[in-house]
Structure 1
Amino acid sequence: MQETHAEQTTEELEAAAEELRRASAELAEASEAADLAADRATEALNTLDTLAHSSGVSEFVYLAAAFALACFVGYYVVWSVTPALHTPLMSVTNAVSSVVIVGALIAVGADVAQSPAGGLSRTLGVIAVALASVNIVGGFMVTSRMLSMYKKKAG
Structure 2
Amino acid sequence: MEAVFLTFVFVLAIFLGFELISKVPSTLHTPLMSGSNAISGITLIGALASVKTDSLGFAAFLGTLAVVFATINVVGGYAVTNRMLEMFKKKDQGENK
The bucket for the TM-score relative to the shorter chain is 0.7 to 0.9
How large is the RMSD of aligned CA atoms in angstroms? 2.5
Letter in 1 for 2:10: C
Q: Provide the TM-score with structure 1 as the length reference.
A: 0.48
Larger Rg: 1
Ranges of 4+ aligned residues in structure 1 off by more than 3 Å: 64-71, 85-88
The answer (yes or no) to whether the contact 2:37–2:77 under 8 Å persists in 1 is yes
TM-score, normalised by the number of residues in structure 2: 0.72
Question: Where do 5+ consecutive residues of structure 2 fail to align?
Answer: none
Preserved contact between residue 91 and residue 142 of structure 1 (Cα < 8 Å): no
**1:9-66 Cα deviation digits (max 9, x unpaired):** xxxxxxxxxxxxxxxxxxxxxxxxxxxxxxxxxxxxxxxxxx8xxxxxxxxxx5x667
The verdict on how the C-alpha distance between 1:145 and 1:107 changes in structure 2, with shifts beyond 3 A counting, is same
Contact 1:108-1:125 within 8 A present in 2 as well: yes
* Alignment-mate amino acid for residue 130 of structure 1: V
Residue 79 of structure 2, aligned match among 126, 141, 146 = 141
Structure with more contact order per residue of length (Cα contacts < 8 Å, sep ≥ 6): 2
